[in-house]
Amino acid sequence: MNGISLTIYLAVFWFLTESSGAETVMFSTKLIHRFSEEVKALGVSKNRNATSWPAKKSFEYYQVLLSSDVQKQKMKTGPQFQMLFPSQGSKTMSLGNDFGWLHYTWIDIGTPNVSFLVALDAGSDLLWIPCDCVRCAPLSASYYNSLDRDLNEYSPSASSTSKHLSCSHRLCDLGTSCQNPKQPCPYTMDYYTENTSSSGLLVEDILHLISGGDNALKNSVQASVIIGCGMKQSGGYLDGVAPDGLIGLGLGEISVPSLLAKAGLIRNSFSMCFDKDDSGRIFFGDQGPATQQSTSFLASNGKYITYIIGVETCCIGSSCLKQTSFKAIVDSGSSFTFLPKEVYETIAAEFDRQVNDTITSFEGYPWKCCYKSSSQRLPKLPSVKLMFPQNNSFVVNNPVFVIYGTQGVTGFCLAIQPVDGDIGTIGQNFMTGYRVVFDRENLKLGWSHSNCEFFLLSSFHISPPLGRLHNGNGQDLNDGTKSPLTPGPGTPSNPLPANQEQSSPGGHAVGPAVAGRAPSKPSTASTQLISSRSSSLKVLPFLLLLRLLVSAS
């Protein structure tokens, strides 16, 4: 039962209805957790060994619970499918300002395997990494505050399992420009912002994964994936954003989830969990718990090009607002959230009414709905809730960005930006505290509250390969130390984007993410997205400004 054994006590109450004289039965149940004190006492009374009882919220406690979850997941998906995660562990982390507030994870590629710290982006499809570099971001740890070992560069010639994708391959969009169909397939990903791009050659190689279990070596999986050998990067990719590559998790055929599902390794689904300490988890093949809420993805011109959902109503506190329906792209590659202008203005006005304070501005910060704080703690803030069909709701746990000065908290802003057009972007700040499931098989988005703790189990205890990680404050991210949701006092920051740089030519909302998209171009089952996909780099301008901000605080 989702890792929880329940002892059920049934009390039967008999009531006689005066009108009919018929007997009506009502069953009342008391549900008891398998590791509760009641069950422990029962075991002791029956001379069972209770000394091995796992302490609540201990490592062993979550180990037993997830072991049961994994078994149930296997029963649900069938024996031929499994849940997979990167061979270096399922953990993801946001390294704060140094890496653009995005979530990253370690992956291993090739034979022998080489490790890369890649940004996670549900808004694009291609997995690319620095490769045979002509022009790449610095890979030396001395360039970054969050690393103490160098990042790696990939070389196809150094991997015995690597082979070039030929120009004749059906996924090679630039194949018609090749002089010979047997030539290696070139790719170019152009971004509208800051002359940002990645280009090189497409190759096939092994992505190293493991499935849940006690023996990680026994459960290792080697999956063939398509990789962008990124020889030349420009713009934001040279300035600390995704310096070691990016893994696209979109709906296109070339994305890692698509390739794993097509190979029959997983159900066509994946999940990401975003914890309040800027850590998280990623699982391929996870369709989420049966108790999760969900909403369907929406097609664009008859095609499912990205993860678009429809919000029916927005609620601030107990007030659900009229004319606040909108469509939004759910994008893990966007640090913050962007809403259509009219919807934003309605939400901001109601938020301001309930905060009941004077709106102010903080120099350099792009948010318009900001307030000063006269104490070290934030005042009680109204909740932000998104309503979906069938009365499903999504309560935002982290709608504000806290601003720090030399003496601590100096203010906060509603971390939502208005954009032109009718499509917004739901970014990472809205997903904090949730296990978010991108169920591509059933074309729906699922969510359930999670602090990601139960993922921290022995079956995943493989440490990152490139040394210790630190957030912007120098706190170790490998030992469970929590880092703040927003930068602390004295934290160097990344810049925030200018307003004019936050929307794509297609008119869709573009948040501060690494890999954007061209909404006018279909991405699912399309070869165009591989070689010449026009995307919007949402992070760079937004994050270049933030570096100046917090430094100045």
Report, as residue numbers or ranges, the catalytic residues: 121, 331
Measure Cα distances from 144 to 231, 399, 435, 468, 487 in Å.
21, 28, 29, 12, 16
By C-alpha distance, which of 326, 328, 362, 329 is closest to 345? 326
Residue appearing with tokens 């906060």 = 412
Beta strands in 33-113 (DSSP E): 84-86, 91-94, 103-109
DSSP state of 151: -
Query: What is the C-alpha separation between 262 and 442, in angstroms, rounded?
Result: 15
By C-alpha distance, which of 330, 288, 282, 227 is closest to 105? 282
DSSP state of 358: -
Q: Which residues, in sequence order, are CB contacts of 385 under 8 Å at separation 6+? A: 314, 315, 316, 320, 393, 394, 395, 396
By C-alpha distance, which of 228, 257, 220 is closest to 244? 228
Within 10 angstroms of residue 202's Cβ, the number of other Cβ atoms is 26
What values do phi and psi take at 3, rounded to 5?
Answer: 85, 0
Structure token digits, residue 338: 């962007």
Are 424 and 338 in contact, with CB atoms under 8 Å apart?
Answer: yes
Q: Considering only CA atoms, give the Rg of the chain.
A: 25
Query: What is the C-alpha separation between 83 and 285, in angstroms, rounded?
Result: 5
- Start-to-end CA distance of the chain, whole Å, equals 50
Query: Any idea what the Cα angle at residue 309 is, between residues 344 and 432, rounded to 5°?
Result: 70
Residue appearing with tokens 């049961």 = 68
Query: What is the C-alpha separation between 267 and 447, in angstroms, rounded?
Result: 17
Half-sphere exposure of 490 (CA within 13 A, CB side): 4
112: cis peptide before it, omega within 30°?
Answer: yes
